[in-house]
Structure 1
Amino acid sequence: MKIESQHVVSLTYDLYVKQEDGTEALVESATEEQPLTFLYGVGQMLPKFEEELSTLSTGDNFDFKLSATDAYGEYDEEAVANLPTEMFAGTDLPEVGAILPLQDNQGHRFQGQVVSVVEDAVIVDLNHPMAGQELHFKGNIINVRPANPEELSHGHAHGADGHHDH
């Protein structure tokens, strides 16, 4: 079956990013046992990722690259926040490298990685961990099926077979 908007797509993939020496390293995978399953065309995935899959059908292989601009954006040197240590009152200060769940004034959730801890602040990098990187996806379309009414009303897929895995 061909991929269309409001269809549930299950696929395997290997995601590679370039290392400083120019070679590619595998950073993420989805297997046949645990595929990536998503509702196509509702904005869950990167737009260019969906565009690359738009002509494919069940059983097709894919191999494409997304530029940093089409993926998670260029690295922004300004996207660093100084969080006052008072925010962490009653808890231990996070360690360098820790990922903090944050929320802005509008209620949007995002993550930041602690880059340093100084006397009165925790310095957090708000860039996506893959910002500034070209993403290279290789994989296979395992299954494509129309979404069921419950999935459409919820706006997401309920697994490869349309049922929640509890």
Structure 2
Amino acid sequence: MKIASQHVVSLTYDLYIKKEDGTEDFVESATQEQPLTFLFGAGQMLPKFEENLSTLSTNDTYDFELQPEDAYGTVDEEAVTNLPLEMFQGNELPEIGAVLPLQDNQGNHFQGQVLSIAEDSVIIDLNHPMAGQHLHFKGTILNVRPATEEELSHGHAHGADGHQGH
């Protein structure tokens, strides 16, 4: 079956970050035993990722790269902020390099990485950890099926076979 909007796609992938010298560093993978399963066209995946898969069917393989602007964006040097130390009262201060779950005043969730700790604040980089990276995806489409009514109403897949795992 060919991938289309409102279909559930299960796939394997190996993700690499392509460095300037042409070499690649392995980042993560999804396997046949634990595939990535998602509702195609629901806005959960990077648009260019879905665009590269849009002509494929079950058992097809793929191999494509995404430039930073088509993935997690370029690094924004202005996306660094100071969080007052009072925010961490009663808790241990985070370690440098730690990724913190944050929320803005509108309730939007995002993450920030601790760059350093100053006398009165924790300095956080709000760029996505993969901002500025050239991503290289390789994998196989394992399964494509129409989404169930429940999946469409919930806006996400309930597993490779349509049943939510618990």
SS at match of 1:150: helix
CA RMSD of aligned residues (A): 0.9
Structure 2 Cα separation of the partners of residues 59 and 117 of structure 1 = 49
Q: TM-score, normalised by structure 2?
A: 0.98
In structure 2, the residue matched to 1:57 is: 57
Structure 1: any 5+ residue segments left out of the alignment? none
Q: Which runs of 4+ in 1 moved over 4 A?
A: none
Q: Does the CA-based 8 Å contact 2:12-2:30 persist in structure 1?
A: yes
Q: Displacement of 1:126 after TM fit?
A: 0.5
In structure 2, the residue matched to 1:30 is: 30
In structure 2, the residue matched to 1:84 is: 84
Structure 1 Cα separation of the partners of residues 36 and 91 of structure 2 = 36
Q: Does the CA-based 8 Å contact 2:99-2:113 persist in structure 1?
A: yes
Structure 1 Cα separation of the partners of residues 162 and 153 of structure 2 = 13
Moved more, 98-107 or 7-16: 98-107
Once the two structures are superposed, residues 19-55 of structure 1 have per-residue CA deviations (whole angstroms, 9 ceiling, x without a partner) of 3653101101000000000000010100000000000
Is residue 106 of structure 1 aligned with residue 111 of structure 2?
no
In structure 1, the residue matched to 2:6 is: 6
Structure 2 Cα separation of the partners of residues 77 and 6 of structure 1 = 37
In structure 1, the residue matched to 2:159 is: 159
Q: Displacement of 1:97 after TM fit?
A: 1.0
Identical columns (%): 77
Structure 2 Cα separation of the partners of residues 21 and 84 of structure 1 = 39
Q: TM-score, normalised by structure 1?
A: 0.98
Structure 2 Cα separation of the partners of residues 80 and 148 of structure 1 = 42
Give aligned pairs, total.
Answer: 166
Structure 2: any 5+ residue segments left out of the alignment? none
